Structure 1
Amino acid sequence: MSTTSAAAPTRPGVPDRPGAPPAARSALRSALVLPEVRWAALSLALFALGGAAQLLGAPPLVWWALYLACYAAGGWEPALEGLRALRERTLDVDVLMVVAALAAAAIGQVLDGALLIVIFTTSGALEAFVTRRTADSVGALLTLAPDRATRVHVDDRLEEVDVEQLAVGDTVLVRPGERVGADGVVVAGSSDVDQSSVTGEPLPVGRGVGDEVFAGTVNGTGALRVEVRRPAGESVVARIVAMVAEAAETKARSQLFIERVEQRYSVVVVAATLTLLGVPLAAGAEFEPTLLRAMTFMIVASPCALVLATMPPLLATIANAGRHGVLVRSAVALEELRGVDVVALDKTGTLTRGEPVVGTVHPLAGTSVAEVLALAAAAERSSEHPVAGAVLAAAREREVVVPEARDVVATPGRGVTGRVGGRVVQVGAPALLEAAGGGAGSGAGGGAGAEVAELVAAVERAGDTAVVVIVDDRPLGVLAVSDALRPEAADAVARIHDRLGARTVLLTGDHATAGRAVAARAGVPEVHAGLLPEDKAAHLRGLADRGHRTALVGDGINDAPAMATAHVGIALGRRGSDLAVETADVILVRDDLGTVPTLAVLARRAHRVVVANLVIAGTVIVALVTWDVAGTLPLPLGVAGHEGSTVVVALNGLRLLRRSAWDRAAA
Structure 2
Amino acid sequence: MVPGVTSTLLLDRPQPARTATRSPFTITEVRWAVAATGLFLFGVGLKFAGAAPWTWWVPLLACYVAGGWEPALTGLRALRERTLDVDLLMIVAAVGAAAIGQVVDGGLLIVIFATSGALEAVLTQRTADSVRGLLDLAPQRACLVLPDGGEREVDAEALRIGDEVLVRPGERIGGDGEVVGGSSEVDEASITGEPLPVPKRPGSEVFAGSLNGTGVLRVRVGREPKDSVIARIVALVEQASATKAKTQLFIEKVEQRYSVGVVAVTLTLFALPLLFGAALEPSLLRAMTFMIVASPCALVLATMPPLLAAIANAGKRGVLVKSAVAMEQLGTVDVVAFDKTGTLTEGTPQVVGVVTEQDEDEVLALAAAAEQFSEHPIGRAVVAEARRRNLRLPEARDFQATPGVGVTARVAGRAVAVRRHDSERTTAVEVVVDGRAVAVIELADEIRPSSPAAVREITVLTGQRPVLLTGDNHAAAQRVATAVGIEDVRAGLLPQDKVQAVREMNGNVLFVGDGVNDAPALATAHAGIALGGKGSALTVDTADAVVVGDDLAVVPAVVSLARRARRVVIANLAIAGTFIVVLSAWDLFGTLPLPLGVAGHEGSTVLVALNGMRLLSAGRRSRVR
Counterpart AA for 2:138: A
Q: Does the alignment pair 1:417 with 2:379?
A: no
Higher mean displacement: 267-276 or 152-161: 152-161
Name the SS of the counterpart of 2:511 in structure 1.
strand
Aligned mates of 2:245, 2:586 — CA distance in 1: 40
Question: Retained in 2: the 8 A contact 1:340–1:502?
Answer: no
Partner in structure 2 of residue 442 of structure 1: none
Aligned mates of 1:73, 1:341 — CA distance in 2: 43
Name the SS of the counterpart of 2:347 in structure 1.
strand
Q: How far apart are residue 204 of structure 1 and its match?
A: 0.8
Partner in structure 2 of residue 484 of structure 1: 446
Q: How far apart are residue 260 of structure 1 and its match?
A: 6.7
Q: How far apart are residue 250 of structure 1 and its match?
A: 2.4
Question: Retained in 2: the 8 A contact 1:500–1:601?
Answer: no
Question: Retained in 1: the 8 A contact 2:457–2:624?
Answer: no
Partner in structure 2 of residue 617 of structure 1: 576
1:544-573 Cα offsets, whole Å, 9 max, x none, are xxx411011111111111111111111111
Q: Equivalent residues in 2 for 1:257-296 (5 A)? A: 261-296=254-289
Q: Equivalent residues in 2 for 1:297-376 (5 A)? A: 297-363=290-356, 365=357, 367-376=358-367
Question: Retained in 1: the 8 A contact 2:34–2:67?
Answer: yes
CA change 1:262–1:154 in 2 (3 A) is closer
Q: How far apart are residue 252 of structure 1 and its match?
A: 5.0
Q: 1:646 aligns with which of 605, 613, 620?
A: 605
Q: How far apart are residue 146 of structure 1 and its match?
A: 1.7
Counterpart AA for 2:45: G
Q: Equivalent residues in 2 for 1:58-69 (5 A)? A: 59-69=52-62
CA change 1:665–1:370 in 2 (3 A) is closer
Name the SS of the counterpart of 2:551 in structure 1.
coil
Q: How far apart are residue 623 of structure 1 and its match?
A: 3.2
Q: 2:489 aligns with which of 527, 533, 555?
A: 527
Partner in structure 2 of residue 450 of structure 1: none
Q: 1:105 aligns with which of 82, 98, 120?
A: 98
Question: Retained in 1: the 8 A contact 2:331–2:565?
Answer: no
Name the SS of the counterpart of 1:116 in structure 2.
helix
Q: How far apart are residue 156 of structure 1 and its match?
A: 4.1
Aligned mates of 2:48, 2:487 — CA distance in 1: 62
Q: How far apart are residue 540 of structure 1 and its match?
A: 0.9
What is the TM-score of this pair, normalised by structure 2? 0.92
Q: How far apart are residue 643 of structure 1 and its match?
A: 1.1
1:484-524 Cα offsets, whole Å, 9 max, x none, are 00010110011000123233111111111111111111111
Q: Does the alignment pair 1:465 with 2:427?
A: yes
Aligned mates of 1:247, 1:611 — CA distance in 2: 27
Counterpart AA for 2:40: A
Name the SS of the counterpart of 1:203 in structure 2.
coil
CA change 1:525–1:255 in 2 (3 A) is farther
1:186-214 Cα offsets, whole Å, 9 max, x none, are 22221111111111111111111221211
Partner in structure 2 of residue 553 of structure 1: 512
Q: How far apart are residue 391 of structure 1 and its match?
A: 0.6
Q: How far apart are residue 259 of structure 1 and its match?
A: 6.6
Higher mean displacement: 181-190 or 474-483: 181-190
Aligned mates of 1:130, 1:383 — CA distance in 2: 43
Question: Retained in 2: the 8 A contact 1:37–1:129?
Answer: no
Q: How far apart are residue 243 of structure 1 and its match?
A: 1.2
Q: How far apart are residue 334 of structure 1 and its match?
A: 1.5
Name the SS of the counterpart of 2:466 in structure 1.
strand
Question: Retained in 2: the 8 A contact 1:152–1:171?
Answer: yes
Question: Retained in 1: the 8 A contact 2:522–2:542?
Answer: yes
CA change 1:256–1:145 in 2 (3 A) is closer
Partner in structure 2 of residue 233 of structure 1: 226
Q: Does the alignment pair 1:584 with 2:579?
A: no
CA change 1:578–1:263 in 2 (3 A) is same
Aligned mates of 1:391, 1:639 — CA distance in 2: 72
Q: Does the alignment pair 1:128 with 2:131?
A: no
Partner in structure 2 of residue 11 of structure 1: none
Partner in structure 1 of residue 215 of structure 2: 222
1:132-167 Cα offsets, whole Å, 9 max, x none, are 211221121111112222233344434333322333
Question: Retained in 2: the 8 A contact 1:255–1:332?
Answer: no
Counterpart AA for 1:192: E
Name the SS of the counterpart of 1:221 in structure 2.
coil
Counterpart AA for 2:468: L
Counterpart AA for 1:540: V
Name the SS of the counterpart of 1:196 in structure 2.
coil
Partner in structure 1 of residue 499 of structure 2: 537
Higher mean displacement: 375-384 or 479-488: 375-384
Q: How far apart are residue 254 of structure 1 and its match?
A: 3.6
Partner in structure 2 of residue 47 of structure 1: 42
Q: 2:398 aligns with which of 404, 407, 415?
A: 407
Q: Equivalent residues in 2 for 1:441-456 (5 A)? A: none
Higher mean displacement: 128-137 or 557-566: 128-137
Counterpart AA for 1:476: V
CA change 1:665–1:256 in 2 (3 A) is farther
What is the TM-score of this pair, normalised by structure 1? 0.86
Question: Retained in 2: the 8 A contact 1:190–1:207?
Answer: yes
Partner in structure 1 of residue 473 of structure 2: 511
Counterpart AA for 1:566: A
CA change 1:96–1:662 in 2 (3 A) is farther
Q: Does the alignment pair 1:599 with 2:569?
A: no
Aligned mates of 1:258, 1:624 — CA distance in 2: 24
Question: Retained in 2: the 8 A contact 1:31–1:129?
Answer: no
Question: Retained in 1: the 8 A contact 2:314–2:320?
Answer: yes
Aligned mates of 1:32, 1:275 — CA distance in 2: 38
Partner in structure 2 of residue 436 of structure 1: none
Aligned mates of 2:97, 2:156 — CA distance in 1: 61
1:3-44 Cα offsets, whole Å, 9 max, x none, are xxxxxxxxxxxxxxxxxxxx9xxxxx9876543333333322
Q: 2:72 aligns with which of 79, 90, 93?
A: 79
Name the SS of the counterpart of 1:167 in structure 2.
coil
Aligned mates of 1:169, 1:502 — CA distance in 2: 47
Aligned mates of 1:251, 1:653 — CA distance in 2: 26
Q: Which runs of 5+ in 1 are unaligned?
A: 1-22, 24-28, 431-455
Q: 2:84 aligns with which of 91, 99, 121?
A: 91
Partner in structure 1 of residue 11 of structure 2: none
Name the SS of the counterpart of 1:172 in structure 2.
strand
Aligned mates of 1:168, 1:262 — CA distance in 2: 51
Partner in structure 1 of residue 132 of structure 2: 139
Q: Does the alignment pair 1:207 with 2:169?
A: no
1:457-489 Cα offsets, whole Å, 9 max, x none, are xxx34x311211122222211111100000101
Question: Retained in 2: the 8 A contact 1:320–1:662?
Answer: no
Aligned mates of 1:231, 1:622 — CA distance in 2: 60
Higher mean displacement: 30-39 or 332-341: 30-39
Partner in structure 2 of residue 378 of structure 1: 369
Question: Retained in 1: the 8 A contact 2:461–2:624?
Answer: no
Partner in structure 2 of residue 157 of structure 1: 150
1:514-541 Cα offsets, whole Å, 9 max, x none, are 1111111111111101111111011111
Partner in structure 2 of residue 494 of structure 1: 456
1:377-424 Cα offsets, whole Å, 9 max, x none, are 121111111001111111122233321222221111111112223332
Aligned mates of 1:274, 1:560 — CA distance in 2: 50
Counterpart AA for 1:165: A
Higher mean displacement: 254-263 or 473-482: 254-263
Q: Which runs of 5+ in 2 are unaligned?
A: 1-17, 19-23
Aligned mates of 1:385, 1:512 — CA distance in 2: 23
